[in-house]
Amino acid sequence: MPPDNAQQTDAVAALSRAQVLIVSDSLGETAELVTRAALSQFAGADVDVLRFPMVKHASEIEGIVLSARARPTLIVYTLIVPEAQHAMTLLAEQHGVVAVDIMGPMISGFTQVLGQAPKLQPGLIHQMDEGYFKRIESVEFAVKYDDAKDPRGFLLADVVLVGLSRCSKTPVSMYLANRRHKVANLPLVPELQLPKELTQVPPWKIVGLRVDPMQLSRIRQERVRSMGRAISVQRGENYAELGRILTEIEYAEAVFKRLRCPVINVTDRAVEETAVLVMDMVARGKRLAGDD
């Protein structure tokens, strides 16, 4: 049965849409990160991003380059081995495909500055060294002690985040965990007593997260819409109401004062910015406490 007009139109549109082929002799994460950062500068660009990891041989590279001719294509590659780099450069030029080398110029620059020959070994950044295992341990810690699932985690953490529901505690915890910090967090609820373990944590290890009530109301309203009845039952019918939020904020401020902890206003802050401020505060508090 022949395709209908709609199918034909979709096929033509797909062939005319630009694509980026990410080619790497490792995982291709670096090239994809750079690609998406660059794409963010082109508003509304309709581009398919496809990743080809663990590419080792010239025959594989040739197949990728030949497939690129069917559509407007940019090849972005991180190929460490010189033979693979050369094959990509030559084949892309022969077939008129635009190709950008992400890693080559960086390695060349470091070779000149350091006066040291590179190892030219793919995937070194992903080797399971001590730092890798510490990061995995920190992520597992953040998951285990998220939302005060086990208050004993407060005594083991590098930092404890406290704040109202939906004020970025978990995203900040996970961001810091990926940077090898062990983070536990506690949602502040007026109806619930503070865990006794929290009072045993040095104040410089605790950071409070403060948020504008109107912004918090909007965030919670969106949460209620996405979760429906379940969140209302779990958190209470007035979870997103401004009056309830103001009551919670008053309680949270009293807790911050009681704990004598520094506080960050997370209103309109990116998770990354909040995370940096958290660790700056912890480091400063540790120095002042003489607890090195």
Spell out the CATH class of 16-126: alpha beta
256/277 Cα distance (integer angstroms): 17
pTM here? 0.61
Domain ranges of the chain: 16-126, 130-289
Which residue, among 96, 100, 98, has the nearest Cα to 77 in the 3D structure? 100
Tokens read off for 160 = 């404890």
pLDDT (0 to 100) of residue 30:
83
pLDDT recorded at residue 13? 47
Q: Is the pLDDT of residue 12 over 80?
A: no
Domains 16-126 and 130-289 belong to one CATH topology: yes
Identify which of 195, 194, 196, 184 has the alpha carbon closest to the alpha carbon of residue 158.
184
Mean pLDDT of the chain: 88
* Average pLDDT, integer, range 24-31: 86
**DSSP-derived 3-state class of residue 125:** helix
Strand pairing class (206-210; 183-187): unpaired
Within 13 A of 135's CA, how many CA atoms are on the CB side? 10
Kindly give, in sequence order, each residue whose CB lies less than 8 Å from that of residue 274, ignoring residues fewer than 6 positions away: 168, 172, 209, 264, 266
Residue 45's pLDDT is what? Answer: 83
* Predicted pLDDT at 236: 59
Query: What are the tokens at 117?
Result: 């020959």
Handedness of CA 64, 59, 80, 126 (dihedral sign): positive
CATH number of 130-289, picked from 2.40.128, 3.30.1560, 3.30.70, 3.40.50: 3.40.50
Q: Are 205 and 282 in contact (CB under 8 A)?
A: yes
Res. 234 pLDDT band, cuts 50 70 90: low
Residue 121 has pLDDT above 80, yes or no: no
Q: Cα 244–247–243 angle (5° rounding)?
A: 35
Structure-token pair, residue 37: 């950062």
Per-residue pLDDT tens digits for 149-183: 999 999 999 999 999 999 999 999 999 999 999 99
Among 172-181, 250-259, 283-292, the range scoring the smallest mean pLDDT is 283-292
Distance CA 233, CA 199 (A): 30
Average pLDDT over residues 7-33: 74
Q: How far apart are CA 248 and CA 243, in angstroms?
A: 9
Residue 11 has pLDDT above 70, yes or no: no
Residue pair 200/155 in contact by the 8 Å Cβ criterion: yes
**Amino acid letter for position 113:** V
Mean per-residue pLDDT, 37-56: 89
Q: Which ranges in the chain belong to alpha helices (H)? A: 5-16, 29-39, 58-67, 82-94, 104-114, 130-144, 169-177, 213-227, 229-235, 242-259, 271-289
Return the percent helix, strand and coil in the chain, to nearest 5.
Answer: 55, 15, 30
Answer yes or no: is pLDDT of 3 > 70: no
> Residue 100 is inside which H or E element, if any?
strand 98-101
- The pLDDT of residue 6 is 47
Do 51 and 32 form a contact (C-beta atoms < 8 A)? yes
7 CB-near residues (< 8 Å, 6+ apart): none
Question: Residues with Cβ < 8 Å from 70, sequence gap 6 or more?
Answer: 15
Residue 103 reports pLDDT greater than 80: yes
Alpha helices in 183-270, H assignment, sequence order? 213-227, 229-235, 242-259
Bridge partners (DSSP) listed for residue 47 = 18
